Structure 1
Amino acid sequence: MDKFSDMAMFVSIVKHQGLAAAGRDLSLSPATVTARLQALEERYGVKLLNRSTRHVSLTESGELYYKACIEILDNVSEVENLIQNGVREVKGSLKVVAPKDIGKQYILPILNEFSELYPDVVPYLYLNDQISNIAESGMDIVVRYGELADSSLISRRLAPSRRVLCASPEYLAKHGTPSTPQDLVNHSCLVMLRSNEELKTWHFQERDKKKSITVVPRRFSDDGEVIRRWAVEGAGIALKSVLDVQADITNLRLVTVLNRYMKNFNTSMSVSSADLNVVYISKKYQPKRIRLFLDFLFERFNDLVEESEKSRM
């Protein structure tokens, strides 16, 4: 078998989390997939997968090989597309994942506009706050808040942002406005869940002084859009990205509090820790549809930032 077929098989095993499932995807018997995987590992002299009867996981060498396979196969697909359809035609899938609030308020209309310009590009929009392994997710573009630890990926700032504490005017009129972080223990707070972790310890900084407060949760959700809606409905105080709630603040549905403090879900208080970023796998030959959408996305967000700055003047 040629190396490209082996790469496609290996990617299918990882994607479908099993040799039998990959065999069904590629119309190969489980015995054939097993034999080819063993031959692949013998060829390179390394173990690529940890295998059990129900699960497979990448070894360190396997992760390197998987990332290389994805990039090479994508590049080959792009070259084939250019040869068959000409350099001017833009087509293929475009997989984008974003947090629900940002995804619905900003990414969705931008993606709709892009689709009108390039109707042969098929968009996939995933609304998910939980993407952790971008390389294995199959996504082309990940929109996310905060700094990036994985240096093998490209991360570019899409828009500056910051964390704000916010509540509805009705809630504050009924329960009072906190004047210090410590006052939050006497308030109903709306708390995010992230990978089943309750983000109920909120961190504050005023000048050089730092303080952490464990709030009293009124409600929990792993969906940032739900947290925002609860805040608008008067259920309590939420810690949100200002981009998520800007329209609510502008229209007086939400009011920010404790504005003299920097705030975050973790101890990082760097200026960029709450910025909105675009993350993607570094590729020497980025497919044209992805390059075009990245340029389009940054252009639209630049317009949004400029409009926001004008409205504050």
Structure 2
Amino acid sequence: MDKFSDMTMFVSIVKRQGLAAAGRDLGLSPATMTARLQALEERYGVKLLNRSTRHLGLTDAGELYYKACLDILDNVGEVENLIQNGMKEVKGPLRISAPKDIGKQYIMPILNEFVAQYPDVVPYLYLDDRISNIAESGRDIVIRYGELVDSSLISRRLSPSRRVLCASPEYLATHGTPLKPEDLAAHDCLVMLRSNEELKTWHFQERDKKVSITVSPKRFSDDGEIIRQWALEGAGIALKSVLDVQADINSQRLVTVLNGYMKNFNTSTMVSSADLNVVYISKQFQPKRIRLFLDYLFERFPELLEKSGDLRS
């Protein structure tokens, strides 16, 4: 029996949690399934499954083999789909996740343009940047701030960015403008929540000098767009990505303060953790709609930034 058939059989056994159930799906008798599994284990000289009358579990070797089988079968399925439906066909779902500010200001118009060119693509835009496991999220593309921990994924920088402290002119006229980080202790600050963690310790760097300030939160939210809206309404000072608030700065609805300092929510990576990245699962036979959208995204995003007058200083 060929290796591809063995992979299909093994995946079916694991998913169906039993040789008999998998055999019914494949049209094979329990005896045949048992013999083939034994032959598979003998070929590699390892035990792949721990079996009892009530339970079936993967060994360490079995888990490794199972994951490899899923990847191989997925790639083969994608190739078959391309062959059957035509290499030029661009259709199907496109699932994208992005922070709210970036999603509404930049990703949505880019996605609208792309779908106008490829009307058989069905977009799903999730305005959420709190995904913890991208591989299991079901999203094709995740746009997020910060660095990538999972080395099995592909991460490309969409745009360099930096954090800015900003407030409305009305707030600063009433409460004064902070001239050094320590002055923030006397100000109302708008603080992000990340996985229920209050990001109220802000870190500053001026040349070689570093200082960390625990601010006095006036309001909390786990939604960056709400933090931005509160700042626009004069509720306090916010620490935001410049990409999120660029249009507000250009129109003078928001004013940046403490511009001589590099700012972030952590100290270990003051610069790169503020950059905007595109994360996706690397697949040799990635659907054409995803490849085309990635190309279009990296082409159009800088153009929209230029129109908005992105601050680089």
TM-score range, shorter chain: 0.7 to 0.9
Is the contact between residue 161 and residue 243 of structure 1 (CA under 8 Å) also seen in structure 2? yes
How many residues end up aligned between the 2 structures? 284
Is 2:270 the partner of 1:266? no
Q: How far did 1:61 drift? A: 7.0
Q: Which moved more, 1:283-292 or 1:218-227?
A: 283-292
Partner of 2:30: none
Partner of 2:174: 174
Partner of 2:125: 125
Alpha-carbon deviations, 1:130-179, whole Å to 9, x = none? Answer: 11111111211110111212222111010111000000000000000000
Is the contact between residue 48 and residue 59 of structure 2 (CA under 8 Å) also seen in structure 1? no
State the SS of the aligned residue for 2:238.
strand
Is the contact between residue 152 and residue 281 of structure 1 (CA under 8 Å) also seen in structure 2? yes
Partner of 2:53: none
Aligned pairs for 1:42-191 (under 5 A) are 45=47, 68=68, 71-191=71-191
Q: How far did 1:101 drift? A: 1.1
Q: 1:8 and 1:165 mapped to 2: Cα distance?
A: 54
Partner of 2:28: none
Question: Judging changes above 3 Å, is the alpha-carbon distance between structure 1 residues 218 and 62 closer, same or farther for their aligned structure 2 residues?
Answer: farther
Runs of 4+ in 1 over 3 A off after TM superposition: 1-10, 42-48, 58-74, 305-313
Q: 1:269 and 1:91 mapped to 2: Cα distance?
A: 40
- Identity across the alignment (%): 73
Question: Judging changes above 3 Å, is the alpha-carbon distance between structure 1 residues 173 and 69 closer, same or farther for their aligned structure 2 residues?
Answer: farther
Is the contact between residue 7 and residue 69 of structure 2 (CA under 8 Å) also seen in structure 1? no
Q: Which moved more, 1:68-77 or 1:91-100?
A: 68-77
Is the contact between residue 262 and residue 269 of structure 1 (CA under 8 Å) also seen in structure 2? no
Q: 2:146 and 2:171 mapped to 1: Cα distance?
A: 29
Amino acid of the residue matched to residue 90 of structure 2?
V
Structure 2 portions without partners, runs of 5+: 26-32, 51-57
State the SS of the aligned residue for 1:83.
helix
Is the contact between residue 231 and residue 238 of structure 2 (CA under 8 Å) also seen in structure 1? yes
Q: How far did 1:125 drift? A: 1.2
Is the contact between residue 242 and residue 311 of structure 2 (CA under 8 Å) also seen in structure 1? no
Say which of 7, 14, 21 aligns to 1:3: 7
Question: Judging changes above 3 Å, is the alpha-carbon distance between structure 1 residues 309 and 225 closer, same or farther for their aligned structure 2 residues?
Answer: closer
Q: Which moved more, 1:97-106 or 1:200-209?
A: 97-106
TM-score between the two structures when normalised by the length of structure 2: 0.80
Q: 2:201 and 2:88 mapped to 1: Cα distance?
A: 52
Q: 1:238 and 1:189 mapped to 2: Cα distance?
A: 6
Question: Judging changes above 3 Å, is the alpha-carbon distance between structure 1 residues 63 and 208 closer, same or farther for their aligned structure 2 residues?
Answer: farther
Is 2:292 the partner of 1:288? no
Is 2:182 the partner of 1:209? no
Amino acid of the residue matched to residue 295 of structure 1?
D
Partner of 1:236: 236
Q: How far did 1:115 drift? A: 1.1
Alpha-carbon deviations, 1:261-300, whole Å to 9, x = none? Answer: 0000111344322110001112222221111010000001
Q: Which moved more, 1:104-113 or 1:73-82?
A: 73-82
